[in-house]
Amino acid sequence: MRAVVWHGRRDVRVDTVPDPTIVEPTDAIVRITSSGLCGSDLHLYEVLAPFMAPGDILGHEPMGVVEAVGASVTNLSVGDRVVVPFNIACGHCFMCDQGLQSQCETTQVRAHGCGAALFGYTELYGQVPGGQAEMLRVPHADYGPIKIPDGPADDRFLFLSDVLPTAWQAFQYADVPPGGSLVVLGLGPIGDMTCRVAQQHGVERVIGIDLVPERLARAKHRGVDVLDWNSFDDTSDIVDAVRSRTEGRGPDAVIDAVGMEAEGSPVAKAAHTVTAALPDKLAAKLMRKAGTDRLAALHLALDLVRRGGTVSVIGVYGAMTNPMPMMTMFDKQIQLRMGQANVRRWVDDIMPLLTDDDPLGVDSFATHHLTLDEAPSAYSMFQSKSDGAIKVVFNP
């Protein structure tokens, strides 16, 4: 089959690799019809390279049609249309029972001290072959895949694999009080969808911050009050602008939908450049031991939120000892919540919104539909945010 394969920093190719087969009785094989490209893939494309190996198949936002099932998979039949959640979970352990599927104790990658295995996401998360491919082996298919009806085109359901539950969790964790205000940092696919979810829940005051004109425009078009990060000289000016919109106090909640590659962190950006020049073993050690995340967005979130408010971190961070403003966090009595999305936990809540009236705008959410062969240029386009790329979907 054809698959998007990682070969090195900024070097992904479309290779012919062996077709996947059933290995465990709980496996299924899915023929992929659509597969998303995510901001998380961009971390692998460059910064998280030390944790990747040439040959790794990328992708964690797939959907398609069941081709084969293992002997213990009784919930799926050949021909079923399914969306595959990005985290791999068993559905019956202590963590899964609590709706913490991203912490599944059956698939946890204990060798690296990490949570549940993920499709296409580094050795830290199990080095499981991903879904930007023609076919995918789905472990724990007796629990994971979400059966969806025939009829609407793929994009109606595709984002259940990651974007929708991630945005949903970001909003739930932000704990916006009735009548409250929310700032969303980053208006990539995750931040954009988070704004939509917040509005859907009746939050009237949603302020979105980014620096890419078409991302700002898209959120504005849906009623988000947008601020262009680039138009401010200093963080304190952004804080002032937000306070002036939130009774001088700051918003009740801030969601960081940017993550470890935030603009505006010159020191950590230099560290990323330095680690890029090191041999992978050394770079991996440095990244796990030293503070090399770009924390501009997270620190801005802590500055922006009102005293006693909540910061919900949905952007991914990867370094071990990041410097954090403990004095501010303690003094402002900030509540912090974060983590990988527990995809399965939110699916039943989201499904009723995936209707023909399409309140979340999923049908027109993707800006680009491309073939798998176009993956190398798609990665580069999405990284440079050129050609209006906000969400890319591959159709193998």
Ligand X SMILES: NC(=O)c1ccc[n+]([C@@H]2O[C@H](COP(=O)([O-])OP(=O)(O)OC[C@H]3O[C@@H](n4cnc5c(N)ncnc54)[C@H](O)[C@@H]3O)[C@@H](O)[C@H]2O)c1
Tokens 């410097």 belong to 323
Per CB under 5 A, contacts with Zn ion among 2-41 are 38, 40
Q: Are 117 and 85 in contact (CB under 8 A)?
A: no
Q: Which of 156, 196, 215, 344 binds ligand X (CB under 6 A)?
A: 215
Of the ranges 2-10, 37-45, 73-81, 363-371, which one interacts with ligand X (CB under 6 A)? Answer: 37-45
Q: Are 171 and 184 in contact (CB under 8 A)?
A: no
Verify binding: residue 262, ligand X, rule CB under 6 A: yes
DSSP three-state, residue 54: coil
The C-alpha atoms of residue 62 and residue 355 are separated, in whole angstroms, by 20
Q: Are 205 and 246 in contact (CB under 8 A)?
A: yes
Of 18, 385, 386, 395, nearest in space to 188 by CA? 385
Verify binding: residue 61, ligand X, rule CB under 6 A: no
Closest CB to ligand X among 26 and 310?
Answer: 310
Q: CB of 94: closest distance to Zn ion in angstroms?
A: 8
Q: Which of 17, 200, 205, 211 binds ligand X (CB under 6 A)?
A: 211
Do the bridges between strand 205-210 and strand 181-185 make them parallel or antiparallel, or are there none, so unpaired?
Answer: parallel
Integer Rg of the chain from CA = 20
Verify binding: residue 89, ligand X, rule CB under 6 A: no
Q: 222: which 2 tokens? A: 């849906």
Closest CB to ligand X among 138 and 209?
Answer: 209
Q: From the list Zn ion, ligand X, none, which binds 93 (C-beta under 5 to 8 Å, kind-based)? A: Zn ion
**Under 8 Å CB-to-CB from 234, ≥6 apart: which residues?**
none
Closest CB to ligand X among 106 and 312?
Answer: 312
Tokens 């009806």 belong to 149
Q: Which of 182, 258, 301, 302 binds ligand X (CB under 6 A)?
A: 258
Q: From the list ligand X, Zn ion, none, which binds 104 (C-beta under 5 to 8 Å, kind-based)? A: Zn ion
Q: Are 20 and 129 in contact (CB under 8 A)?
A: yes
Q: Which of 142, 162, 252, 293 binds ligand X (CB under 6 A)?
A: 162
Q: What amino acid is encoded at 341 in this protein?
A: A
The C-alpha atoms of residue 204 and residue 181 are separated, in whole angstroms, by 7
81 Cα distance to chain centroid: 23
Verify binding: residue 90, Zn ion, rule CB under 5 A: yes
Per CB under 6 A, contacts with ligand X among 275-314 are 296-297, 314
Verify binding: residue 341, ligand X, rule CB under 6 A: yes
The C-alpha atoms of residue 354 and residue 86 are separated, in whole angstroms, by 19
Site map for Zn ion, 99-128, x if CB under 5 A? -----x-x----------------------
What angle do the packed helices 189-200 and 213-221 form, to 10 degrees? 10
Q: Which of 26, 35, 40, 108 binds ligand X (CB under 6 A)?
A: 40
Verify binding: residue 85, ligand X, rule CB under 6 A: no
Closest CB to ligand X among 67 and 263?
Answer: 263
Of the ranges 69-77, 91-99, 180-188, 359-367, which one interacts with ligand X (CB under 6 A)? Answer: 180-188
Residue numbers of the site for ligand X (CB under 6 A)? 38-40, 42-43, 162, 166, 185-191, 209-212, 215, 229, 257-259, 262-264, 296-297, 314-316, 340-341
